[in-house]
Amino acid sequence: MDDVAQRTLVLRGRRVVGGCAEGEALVTRETISGWGGINERDGTIIERRHELRGVSFKGRVLVFPGAKGSSGWSAYFHMARLNGVAPAAMIFTRMTTKVALGAVVTRAPTMTELDQDPLAVTETGDWVKVDADRGVVEVTKR
Amino acid sequence: MRLTDHEKAMLDGSHGAAKARAMDLLLRYGEALGAQRLVETNNVAGAFNASTPSVRALAARGFDAVYSELNLDSDVVVEVPRMAVNTCQLITGIDNAKWRIQGIPDDLAEQQKRGEAFFGRRGINMHATCTPYQVGNVPVLGEHCAWMESSAVVYCNSVLGARTNTEGKESTGAAALTGRIPYWGFHISANRRGTHLVEVDIPVDDIMDWGLLGYWLGEIVQDEIPVLTGALLDPTLIKLKHFGAAASSSGGVEMYHLPGTTPEARSVEEAFGGRAAAGTLRYGPPQRRQAYDNLNCARGRKVDFVMLGCPHNSIEQVWLIASMLEGRRINADTALWVHTPRALRDTAERNGYVQMIEDAGGVVMSDTCPAISRHMPKGVRTVATDSAKQAHYLPAITGVQAWFGSVRDCVDAAVSGTWRGTLDG
């Protein structure tokens, strides 16, 4: 393995929801709808023209710009948690009430305002540890 | 966050367990946002109904359990007291009179009615519409609100000049019991100014035009605040309702300014509050074509189902549809559902509009819509609608294909069973 493959990045930022969790990154540059954008029973993205259509965030670290669309965002991520298909952790770049409330009720460790753009430095498949209590994200490149 | 003495007393349980759980949620939410404090609100619009199959198990434990979990994010079941402030129910999943036509099982319809009886007595006004501003909930300029429903939020901020963020089921549940919501985002004057100038180069006139403009715009600006100039003709409630709904579906627009029309922008300068625009966008024929093509995902011309009334139709829209249908008969293989708030349906019935639509073979529904209920007539593969919002969501939620067009395109499709709509009529 070369050095790049083993590289671990450390990012620092602000806690949105506390806790510590890790998992495989699922990265998208497209905002996500909750109601009408995800299937709360299996955690898949269902929006017709979304780049992650058909992909599930269950147990993964969701790295995305933030929320769009319906006010049912929190309700659908809330139900995803009750159904056991929520993301393990979340990292987003654009704060809105939808994504903040959604993260709170999903109860997954969540961070924002990182010192590097997470959409630029993480890729789907990287291993990501989100320690929201300490304000630290560790990205191990795949 | 800084809390007042009254807020601290609610948090520590001095005003009962439900308000304590509500304050706990507001605190977690406010800290997630980075808010400094809460603001008082006396106008809450939320979703308290229990009308989906997934709520069955919770509802079997009682409606205190439903509210505790889904409206307060509380692990313990608390007894729900009367709402502390004016609160209304937005759209639901079930038409209380026509659930059998929707294909809803009787036990779910009964569950919703039991829930309404429970919540109604605690002060939640059962407007049961996505458009509370059409049935008497019309906040004044500057009023702090806590509203759900993206299409109502953008209308509230932009057209009425009242102040709300896009709230959710849990935050409106907490606000209704405490009269508080985080002081953040659109509650603060400085955050309400325009960010992007949009120069509209072509006339935007009917509902379809306004829907296309909104659908294109939302996808580009996401949650920024556009300021629109150009030939924006006759911007009435009906058109702005469709425009905002489209822009908050393809993106997350919660506020816009139409200088000379909306109350916080008597001029372009006032809309931007003295700052320069972060960017300028142009809307012309190619952008309009792009929005139309993005919305029209259907392939087959045979239309099984025509849906009108998203957001819920005004009485003028119901009259327009009734007029277009007079003396005509809907195709035997095509269903037409028209959706309007129940209070307006009463007017439509009194006026004879409901009879006119029923005589042609259509149905006038209230309380719900197909995207919310996930119910349509059996076997529908292709739907036609005049709503960019419904055309955006229905294929994702139900797997159908959608045609989007004018009200006339849709009514004609209901009569002929065939889609003949085009971008330019």
CA distance B337 to B351: 18
Put simply, whether A101 touches B (Cβ < 8 Å) is yes
Chain B residues whose C-beta sits inside 8 Å of any chain A C-beta: 25, 28-29, 32-34, 47, 54, 69-70, 73, 147-150, 153, 165-171, 182, 184-185, 218, 222-223, 248-249, 251-252, 294, 297, 371, 392-393, 395-397
Find, in chain B, the residue whose alpha carbon is nearest to that of A32.
B251
Range of the domain at B256: 193-294
Say yes or no: B197 and B171 in one domain. no
**Is residue B252 located within the same domain as residue B339?**
no
The pLDDT, as a whole number, for residue B51 is 86
Q: B367 and B226, same structural domain?
A: no
Residues B140 and B220 in one domain: no
Domain stops at, among B294, B318, B333? B294
Same domain, B290 and B275: yes
CATH number at residue B399: 3.30.499.10
Verify that B139 and B18 share a domain, yes or no: yes
One domain, residues B59 and B174: yes
C-beta neighbour count of B326 within 10 angstroms = 10
Which residue among B272, B294, B316 closes a domain?
Answer: B294
List chain A domain ranges.
3-140
Distances (CA, A) of B236 to B159, B239, B258, B318: 10, 5, 12, 16
* Co-location of B17 and B134 in the same domain: yes
Fold classification of A3-140 is Glucose Oxidase; domain 1 (3.50.30)
Q: Is residue B109 part of a domain?
A: yes
Residues 6+ apart with CB under 8 A from B250: B214, B215, B216, B217, B218, B219, B294, B388, B392
Same domain (yes/no): B281, B324 = no
Please, how many CA atoms are within 13 Å of residue B145, restricted to the half-sphere of its CB?
31
- Both B401 and B362 in one domain: the answer is yes
Residues with Cβ within 8 Å of B8's Cβ and at least 6 positions away in sequence, in order, are none
Question: Helices marked H in chain A — which ranges?
Answer: 3-6, 73-82, 97-106, 118-121
Domains: count for chain B: 3
Would you call A100 an interface residue with chain B, using a CB distance cutoff of 8 Å? yes
Buried b (16+ CB within 10 A) or exposed e, A109-134: bbbbebeeebbebbeeebbbbbbbee
Q: What is the CATH number of the domain that holds B140?
A: 3.30.499
Q: Average per-residue pLDDT in chain B?
A: 97
Q: Which segments of chain A have a pLDDT < 70?
A: 1-6
Q: Are residues B171 and B215 in the same domain?
A: no
Strand locations in B24-170 (E): 38-40, 44-46, 87-89, 124-125, 146-147
Torsions phi, psi for B113 (to 5 deg): -65, -40
Distances (CA, A) of B358 to B21, B323, B337, B353, B417: 47, 12, 10, 9, 17
Domain membership flag for residue B211: yes
Q: Are B233 and B310 in a shared domain?
A: no
CA distance B296 to chain A (A): 12
Domain assignment present for B422: no
Nearest to B248 among A69, A78, A102 (CB): A69
B169 and A75 within 8 Å at the Cβ level: the answer is yes
Instruction: Quote the pLDDT of residue B12.
Output: 98
Record: contact B70-A36, CB cut-off 8 A = no
ipTM, interface predicted TM-score of the complex: 0.96
B4-19 pLDDT, tens digit each = 999 999 999 999 999 9
CA pair distance A17, B103, nearest whole angstrom: 40
Distance, in Å, from the CA atom of B9 to the CA atom of A39, rounded to the nearest integer, reads 39
Say what the pTM is. 0.96
Is A58 strand, coil or helix? coil
- Which residues of A are part of the catalytic machinery? 70
**Segments of chain B with pLDDT less than 70:** none
Q: Is B16 exposed, middle or buried (0-12, 13-18, 19+ CB in 10 A)?
A: middle
DSSP A47: -
Q: Establish if B69 belongs to a structural domain.
A: yes
